[in-house]
Structures are given as structure tokens and as C-alpha cells.
Structure 1
Amino acid sequence: MPHPTPALPASLGPIRLGLRANLAQFVLLVAVNALVGGELGQERTVVPLLADQIFHLSAYTAALTYIVAFGATKAAANFFAGTLSDRFGRKPVLVAGWLVGVPVPLMLIWAPSWGWVVLANVLLGVNQGLAWSTTVIMKIDLVGPARRGLAMGLNEAAGYGAVAVTAMATGAIAAHSGLRPEPFFLGIAYAALGLGLSALAVRETRDHARAEAALHPAPRNPDRHGELTTGRIARLTSVGDKALSSASWAGMVNNLNDALAWGVFPLLYAAHGLSVARIGLLAALYPAVWGAGQLLTGWWSDHIGRKHLISAGMLLQAAAIGLVAVGTAFPVWAVAQVLLGAGTAMVYPTLLAVIGDVAHPAWRARAVGVYRLWRDGGFAVGALLAGALADAYGIITSIWAVAALTAAAGLVVAVRMYETHPRPATTPR
């Protein structure tokens, strides 16, 4: 049966929670997040090839420094996005994220050295951390508790669908016109449109979170509800609460293997003689299935719960990464990318829904920020780990190591996480 729309106190005026009640703003935020994803997608095919073919970086660790820079700055920006959006409002943080992102495609076009590419990815990390985190927080604000999984599925589907479309488009453009500058013209258009929509059309949603918080005046559990300091929230999300901390670990490993897919897989494909266009297609397959799959999996988690979907998704990712390691041709890698996308679709919106389930509306934005700090820190950890192992033992060894870590994360969720969705009759441990 559908959840009823919560009744809000009269003092909160016309504010209403729910997807249908806030459909226009929700759809606008979906479009904005697609543009955020497109800003990331402009790099997925072209930048690894820039490292190899333009800047001639022979060591994997050196070639992956741009992902380290991106992951570290995005992780930090995620943390501050939650805190700043609670203090100053969601919209100013979203606009600030787009302002920082505007120079990125221009720097990639004009970069005279690899250091410029790394610096561009510092700015890209801030852009993604502030803008993507804020669209997540704003959608959670708008929809309330009943459709949180669906909302996260739509948000992440839009973002990673745009990553896929842009990765494939830039690969096709690069195959026709070269690696620079034409593939990055898409990024210029995305940044201009995203900034314009965020500044002129998006409305503030912080009052929706306050409205939902007013429905929970009495703490159910002092460790999960009520006003907490940012430090206490960080500890709860990182280690204290079994669901929040398990989600944080799974999220970090998920993006650790995404760093592998972003930075190492294209180099593996190129070493086997694949064309730029075919590399672009493989780079697009994974986020395409990931993005489209979240339209189902977010909704599905609202009906069957979160825990088992996450655990199964991590194990499927591990199997897919192993298939990349044993493959030597396009058809096998294409199947692996489809499976990797399906596994990630099971995990990604569901982890965000876990944070929304457990965190009280009064401190939910900061919990999302802490979770995304850990999750996107996985980019930096993954790039460093994959690069070091590839340089020391070969690229296949690095892929198998990440597959093993991903399987371990799935088992941690299966053993440690409690079910967080309010519908299943499960008691938190």
C-alpha cells in the first residue's frame, strides 16, 4: 500500500512533502543533475587517452593522478556541502558548485602540461561535490520518507545516464576530430546551462527539511535523532551506527572500483588495440546500464528493503570486474560492463536511501555529506591502489585486487548492516 502524505503542522504554511506535490521542482533538479553528470562524463573516454597519447605518461600511478585529485577534492566538498547547505541553504551551495565548474572544460582544452589537467580535476571535484550533493539533499527534502528510494534512483539515473551519453559522444567526437578541443565543447555547454538553471529557476528546499523535522519532535533513539554536533554526526556515520557506517564502507569501495573503470579500463582496452570509438562505447556502457537501472532499483528498494539489494549488487560488481580481468576482446568486456552497471545500479541509490532512512531530517544533510566524503574518497583510494599495483605487478593484478575488495564489501553489508527501510519489520541492532 502507498504511504500517506505526512500531515504538517499549520505553522509551516503551504509546504507539502511528496514527489507529486513538488513535481516541477523535482524534475528541474533531475535535469540539473544530468548536467552535473555530463560535466563528469566529458572526461571518461578522453582524459585517460590524453595521459597516454598527448602527455605520454608511462607509469599508471602518474596517469591516474587526475582521479586522485578529483576524488580527494570531491570527498571534501561533499562533507562541506552538507554543513554549508544546513547553514546557508541548498541553492547558494548549488550555484557555487557550478561557478567552480565553469573553467574545467576550458582548462582541459588549453592544458599545456599534465599539471593543468590535475588542477582542472581539483575544480571538477569541487563542482561535483557541491552540485551533486546538493541536488541529492534537495530531492530528499522534497519527497519526504515515502518515495526516498525512487527519488534517489531518478537522481542517480539522470546523473549517470548523462555520464554515459557524454562519454560515448566525446568518444565519437574524438574519433572524428581528435582528443582536443572539440570533445570538451559539450562541457562548456553543460556548465553554462547548469549555472543558468540553478541561479534562475531552482528554488530553496531547506524549509521542506524543517517541515519534515517538525513531524519528528521526540527522539526515537538519541543516537539517531535530535540535534547533534557535526563531529558526532561524522562519528555516527563513519563508525558508530552499523547501517550508516556499513553504507559508508560500501560506498567507498563502489567508487574505488569506479576509479578502476574510469582510469585503468580504457588503458587496458587501448593496449589490446581497440579504437577510440570502441573504447568510448565501452566507457559508456557501464554508466548507461548503471543510470537506467537505477530507475528500477531505487523504486525496488522502497518495496523489498535496502540491505540485500546492496549486498547482492556489490557481489555482482566483483564478478563483473573479474570478467574484465579474464577478457581479451570487445564482446567479453561489453558483457562485463553491462554486469558492472547492473550491480552498481543495485547499490548506488540504495546506499543514499539508507542514509535518508536513518538520519533525522535535522541533521540528514550533514550525514549525506559525511557518507559522500567516504564514498567519493574511494576515487582517490582506488586510483592510488590500482596505479601502484599496476606499476608493481601488472594491470591484471590490480583489477583482481579491486574485485576482491568489492566482494569483501558485499559480505560486510550482508553480515553487519541492519535493514533500514521503515516498511520491513526489522529491529535495528
Structure 2
Amino acid sequence: MRESTIALLVLATEVFIGSATGIQRTILSIEVSRTLGVALSLTPIVTFGIFKALADYFAALLAQSRGRSRVLRLGALLYAIGALSVLLLPQPFNFFLGNVLIGAGEGFVFAASAMILRSLLGLEKSALSFSYIESACYLGYALGAYAGGAALVLGGSAAPLLLIAVFSISALVVSLRVREVKKAEQFSGEESWGSGEKFSLKLIYRNPSTLSALLAAHVAKTADSIVWGVLPLFVVARGWGSYYAGYAQALILVMWSLMMPFWSYYSDRVGRKLISTAGLLFTAGLLLLLPSSGSPAETLLVAMLIGIGYAMYYPILPTPVADLTPPGARDVAIGLYRAVRDSGYFTGALLGSMLLSAPGDHIRETFMNTGVLLALSATTFSVIFRETRPTWPFLDLVIEHVKIIRDVLRLHIETIRCFFEGRQSEMEENVKRIKTLERRADTLKREIVWRIWSSLLPSSGRAEFEKLVGEIDKVAGAVLESSERLLWAKRGPELTRAYELLVGMLLETERLADRLVENLKLLSLSPLYAVRAAVEIDAGERRVDELRTELIHELRRLVNEGKIDTLTFLSLVEVANLIELASDDFQDAADLIRVIAYRHAATPLR
């Protein structure tokens, strides 16, 4: 089965499950309040939240041993049984007991869907993959919310419950067609940099970026669950009817669904912090404004804007966990994130019930207090969070600078070949070309430094990048001097082994340049992977040292046996020292990249 077909089937399963839950977003608090009163109208959300949070985490563990598609089908089956319970059991117990299975089923389905789609899209589009997952879910929520309100008006209390059962059974049928994708331990491309690393989930709680994302996500879901339950009560209390309650819920959810890919696309390019913080603050302001809406049109407009605000942070908050977790542990880490986030359903239902029990205009105060809570969460997040998808306007120029230095190394290899093969004129021509490349590198270095310090936008790591460019620029000077030193030496057949070792040193140093280019690209993709790539550069520098030591022993043997003269010995030793100095400069550059990665919340790998 093609990957695109698998993705479409997974998304269709999510839409059906979301539609079934969306119906409850309209009718649940209205129906329960008729039998238990307004203060207890949110309590079924408690059971939904508890079991969804548990399923979020255990889905990742089951997926590792049983496969992701099986977890998806298990979730769809549990949801269908829960939906039939809601349909067949007497009210209000149907909502309490049915939502145990519905919460668990939705948790399994959405967690498995997230794992499958992330596996298909990869790390580079991590925010976009989360947005596809959540967009399908909330598109279903929107369809269900509108259908639930219309069905309640047109067909009475039984009609929405029958729709829930129909949607859930449809999800189960579609899920049976989904086939397994690659296993969690199969990685390629950028993912290979983090594979095979041991990772403790405790680091998620110790890292300021992942911890602040967890807290913000929990509070955001708390606010969402309160809006879920209280908005229909607000609309009905104003005398506008359950149709407008479903309409308002649908507007929130459809805008939420449609805007998530847009914000996620830019989050993968400009970073996580700014968009998430703005979305949290924007939503908080709208919740403070919502009770003041005096007509259905005003309420629907605010509801539409709330959906846009939700979309700004909801698919982005999980991405720091993905950015900073090795791929082998990512499913479990995201499962933990989803569990913490979705336990906000539980917190929101309890907090909402307490606020609704308060004297006075309890619905108005519930929205106001929720808005204040969300604003405090946004402020805390903005202070604690360190960007995990950093961007720098000068990064492409830095990479270009390293590539020029790599070209210098390649020319130097050819220069050494010309020396040992007696092609003197070609050797001298290559030295001139190296000088030209060095001048290009110097010019580019000056432009980079100007870009680093002239940008109006705040940019972390400016001093480190300036030092990094300086370290790389030293390589060109060392290589140029090394090429010129060759002109002082005499070639001969006795230098065959020395030639092999020199070329080996240069090839290894060229690989260091390649690693550094990859390291710089990884830096804006995942600080964690940049740290891992820096370790590879350390290992390469050690290999250059070993080759240099062997070369000096060989040259010392030759000079002691009188096979080469002293000037040739000293010249070739200096050539080797300069190449080794170039590899040291690459290692120093990698150390600076490591410092920048640590500033962006990466942790050392064991």
C-alpha cells in the first residue's frame, strides 16, 4: 500500500472519530445540565480526559511492541463500543460510562495517527505533521459540532446519539484498511543523527523548553475543555438556542482545523516561540472579550477568532518535544506530552465545575478567569522557553563560507598530487587558485560579520557565529601556507608512504568540512542532532592527529636513513602541522556550534 493511501486512510479515521466527539462538544453540557444541573454539566469530561490521557501514553508503548496500525484499530474499536454505550444506556449515565471508552479510544486513535504521519513526513516537517494530524481531528470536531446542534433541534435527544454511533462505526471500518508503516527503529537522513542514543523521559521535565511546552499545553487544553462545556451553556442562556451553540462550536473548530497547517508551515521555518506565545495571548484576550458579545453574530465572530488563536499554538507546542528527543524515544516522549496535555480535559472539567458553582454571573466569570489563566501561561512560556527551531538570517552565508573552504581543501589535495607526480606548473596554478578562493572567503566573511551585527531582529549566538566564521577562515590561510611549503621540498620515490598519509589527512579534513556543513544545517533543524554531529567532528579530528603522528614517524625514519634532506623533512612536517591545524579549527568551530545548540535547549547525549 502506498504511503499516500495510508495517510489518507489515517486522516479519514481521524475525521470520523473527531465528528463523533464533535457532536458531544455541542450536546454534552446541554443534555447533562437538564438532569444534573449546570454546576455538574462538565463532569463527563472528567472521565473522558482521564482515559484519553492514559491512552495517549500507553498507545506509544503498545505501538513499539504491537505496531501502530494495531493501536489505531484498537482505539477505533473501543470508541465504537463507547459510542454504542452512549446510545443505549440511560441518561446521564450513558455520558459518564460511555466517555470512559470514548476517551480511551480517541487517545489510541489520535496517538497512533500522530506516530504514523510523523513517520511518513519526517523531522524537518514536524510541526506540519502535527498540524495534519490535528487538522483532521478538528475538522471532524467541527462537522460533528454543527451536525450535533442541528440534530438536537430537528430530531430530539436521540438523534445526535445515533449520529455518534454511525460516525464511530465508520471510523472502525476505515481503520481496518490501514497497514503498518516503518518501525520506530528504522531511521534515515537527518533522523540517523539521533538514532541509537539512550534517552530518559526525565530530561523532558528537566529541560526548560519541553517543560514549559508541557505546562502551556496542559493549561491550553484546560481552557479548551472549559470552552467546550461552557460555550453551549452561554449561548443557550442568552436564548439563542442549541443551533447557535453548535454553530459557534463548529466555527471555532473549523477555523482551528483550517489554520493549523498555515501556522505550522511557518513554525518550521521561523521557530516555535513567537507564534505559540502570540497564539496563547491572542486566545486569552478573546476569552476575556467573549462574555461581552451581545448578539449571535458577535459571538460567532469571536468564536471564529478563537479557532484561529488555537491553531497558532496547538500543533506547535508538541514540536519542542520532537525537536529535542532522539527518534527511538520520540513516540513515547510524544505520548507523554499528549498525556500531560489531554489531562487538561480533567483539570478543565473540575475547574469549570467549580467556577460554574460560584455565586453571581458564573458563566461570565468562568470565561474571564479562564482568559486570565491562559494569559499567565503564555507569559510563563515566553520567559522560560528557549527556541528549539532557531533561525538566523545569515546561516546560509555561513554554510556557503564553509563550502568555499572545502573547495580549498580539495584543491590542496590536487596540489599534493601534482607535487608528487612532478607536475610543477599545475601545482603552481593550483596555489594561485587557492589564493583566489581565500580572497573569496575573506570577502564573504566580512559580509557575514556585517549581517550578524546589522540585523534589526534579535538573534541568539551572534558572538559564537562570528567566532565560528573566524575559525573556519583560518583553514584557508593554513591550507595556502601548506601549499606554498610544498614548493620547498624535493620529491622522490621514497616519499610514497608519506604521500599516502598526507592525502589521507586531507581527505579526512575534507570530510570534516562536509560534516560541518551538515552540522550547520542540523542546527536549525534540531539542536539535539547538531550536538550529535559535533561529536562526529571530534572523532574525525582525532583520526587526522593519528595520521599526522604516523607521517612524522615516517619522515623521521627517512631523514635518519639519509633518503630525504633536512629541508624536505622540515617542509613536509610543516605541511602536516598546517593540515592538522586546519582540522583543529574545524573542531573549534564544532565546539561553538555545540554551545549554540545548548543555548537552544539541547542536552548532551550519552
TM-score of the superposed pair, with normalisation by structure 1 = 0.87
Q: Distance in 1 between matches of 2:286 and 2:137?
A: 22
Q: Distance in 2 between matches of 1:46 and 1:172?
A: 10
Task: State the partner residue of 1:7.
Answer: none
Task: State the partner residue of 1:5.
Answer: none
Question: Could you report, residue by residue, the CA deviation over 1:130-152 in whole angstroms, capped at 9, with x for unpaired residues?
Answer: 11111011111111112222222
Task: State the partner residue of 1:187.
Answer: 164
Structure 2 gaps of 5+ residues are 393-523, 525-595, 602-606
The aligned runs of 1:11-410 (5 Å cut-off) are 22-53=3-34, 55=35, 57-60=36-39, 62-180=40-158, 182-199=159-176, 201-207=177-183, 209-212=184-187, 226-228=197-199, 232-233=200-201, 235-237=202-204, 239-393=205-359, 394-410=362-378
Question: Could you report, residue by residue, the CA deviation over 1:9-53 in whole angstroms, capped at 9, with x for unpaired residues?
Answer: xxxxxx9xxxxx832322222222112211211211112221123
Query: Do the aligned partners of 1:172 and 1:280 also contact (CA within 8 Å) in 2?
Result: yes
Task: State the partner residue of 2:600.
Answer: 428
Q: Which moved more, 1:291-300 or 1:325-334?
A: 325-334
Task: State the partner residue of 2:380.
Answer: 412
Aligned-pair identity in percent equals: 28
1:363 is paired with a residue whose SS is helix
Query: Do the aligned partners of 2:256 and 2:308 also contact (CA within 8 Å) in 1?
Result: yes
Equivalent position amino acid for 1:379 in 2: Y
Q: Distance in 2 between matches of 1:39 and 1:122?
A: 14
1:103 is paired with a residue whose SS is helix
Equivalent position amino acid for 1:151 in 2: S
1:354 is paired with a residue whose SS is helix
1:211 is paired with a residue whose SS is coil
Change (3 A) 1:304 1:219: closer
Q: Which moved more, 1:43-52 or 1:210-219?
A: 210-219
Superposition deviation, residue 392 in structure 1: 1.9
RMSD: 2.1
Aligned length: 395
Change (3 A) 1:113 1:191: closer
Q: Distance in 1 between matches of 2:11 and 2:137?
A: 8
TM-score of the superposed pair, with normalisation by structure 2 = 0.62
Question: Could you report, residue by residue, the CA deviation over 1:259-287 in whole angstroms, capped at 9, with x for unpaired residues?
Answer: 11111111111111111211110111111
Q: Distance in 2 between matches of 1:210 and 1:40?
A: 33
- Bigger share in helix: 2
Query: Do the aligned partners of 2:82 and 2:100 also contact (CA within 8 Å) in 1?
Result: no
Q: Distance in 1 between matches of 2:193 and 2:306?
A: 42
With CA pairs under 8 Å and 6+ residues apart, which has the higher RCO, 1 or 2? Answer: 1
Equivalent position amino acid for 1:428 in 2: H
Q: Distance in 2 between matches of 1:143 and 1:277?
A: 39
1:350 is paired with a residue whose SS is coil
Equivalent position amino acid for 2:187 in 1: E
Q: Distance in 2 between matches of 1:120 and 1:274?
A: 29
Change (3 A) 1:216 1:298: closer
